[in-house]
Amino acid sequence: MDEKRNELKKIIMDTKTLPTLPGVINKLNALSDNDKSSVQEMARIVSSDQVLSARILRLANSPSYGFYRVSTISNAMILLGVNVVKSLALSSSIFEIMEKNSVGLWEHSLGVGVASNMIAAKLGLPECEEIATAGLLHDIGKVIISLKCSEAEEEVRRVINEKRVYMREAEQEVIDTDHAEVGGWLAKSWFLPDKLSEPINCHHNVETSENHRIKTAVVHIADVLIKASGFGDSGDDYVPQIQQAAWDALKLNEQTVTELVEDLEDKLVEVKNFSLELQQNTDAAPN
């Protein structure tokens, strides 16, 4: 079985291009034509797209630029420059796949990003933006599996329906690995810092997170809450339990979680509107 896993790993390490959403590109172009728009505003738009975010971070941390610790989208954009970011966004020519098949996953990811940020802010954690980015990217492995092994993806869907299991269990059965591990490989091959790759890799298994357990715990809880709220589509309909390691890492109690759920309901309305707006722009954009 190791063979299949190694083969998949090789395919992923070869990944040079990944899809991105055209709505983001339109917004980015409109903003960069306007002199007064700040990098922060543009970073907010970029952050709504997990694939573009990942590519920008990967580029800013790549050996050719020689920066090693860029973990926020706005800092990456400052260093790369608006032109490079725009070129990068435009060069993604296979975004149609994402547009047609993965709006649900995209909404789920967007929701987890927003929820991660909200939880981090509520608990007074430093580096909220990083945690939000980790949340946004946590399921990037699913995009890769869907792109690179579409046959396996169908099989995974079949197993989920037939056996009523979590997506990652079905993935383990079909491809002998899961989207968290695949996302972790990808993050590593993109030279993303540990504080991003570890929460991606360990979001279903908080205990295995060694250096960034708090960030991992936040992403894990955000993932569970978003699944429970029924926002977006993460691939299966089952809501897992919040792991003990996450409760411990964040010193959470039920009272705090109840407050989090209430705050989240309001936030999700905003996110939904934002998502619809981007999709409308996408539909209206000339080809």
Partner 1 sequence: MLPPIRISLVSSDAQLTSQLQLRLQSRGHQATAMSYIDGVLGAFYSDPPDLLIVDLFADGNAGMTIVTALRSDSFFSTIPIIGLVSPADYDLFPWETYPLDDVLFLPINFSELFCRIALSFSRINRIFDNNPLTRLPGNTSIQRAIEDAMGKPLAVCHVDINHFKPYNDAFGFSHGDEVLRMLSRIMFNAVRDAGGGFCGHIGGDDFVFIASLAQVEPVCQTIIDHFDQIVLDLFDEATKRQGYYNGTNRKGEAEKIPLLSIAIAAVPMNSDKIRHVAKVAEMAAELKKQAKETEGSHFVVDQRKG
Q: How far is the CB of 66 from partner 1 (least distance, A)?
A: 5
Q: How far is the CB of 65 from partner 1 (least distance, A)?
A: 7
Q: How far is the CB of 133 from partner 1 (least distance, A)?
A: 13
Nearer to partner 1, 126 or 162 (CB): 126
Nearer to partner 1, 26 or 172 (CB): 26
* Contact residues: partner 1, CB under 8 A: 16-17, 39, 55, 58-59, 62, 64-72, 74-75, 78-84, 87-88, 90-93, 126
Nearer to partner 1, 196 or 225 (CB): 196
Q: What is the DSSP secondary-structure string of the chain?
A: -HHHHHHHHHHHHT-------HHHHHHHHHHHHSTT--HHHHHHHHHT-HHHHHHHHHHHTSTTTT-----SHHHHHHHH-HHHHHHHHHT-TTHHHHHHH-HHHHHHHHHHHHHHHHHHHHTT-S-HHHHHHHHHHTTHHHHHHHHH-HHHHHHHHHHHHHH---HHHHHHHHHSS-HHHHHHHHHHHTT--HHHHHHHHHTT-GGG--S-HHHHHHHHHHHHHHHHHT-S--SS-PPPPPPHHHHHHHT--HHHHHHHHHHHHHHHHHHHHHHHHHHHHHHHS--
Nearer to partner 1, 93 or 241 (CB): 93
Nearer to partner 1, 64 or 253 (CB): 64
Q: How far is the CB of 138 from partner 1 (least distance, A)?
A: 22
Q: How far is the CB of 16 from partner 1 (least distance, A)?
A: 7
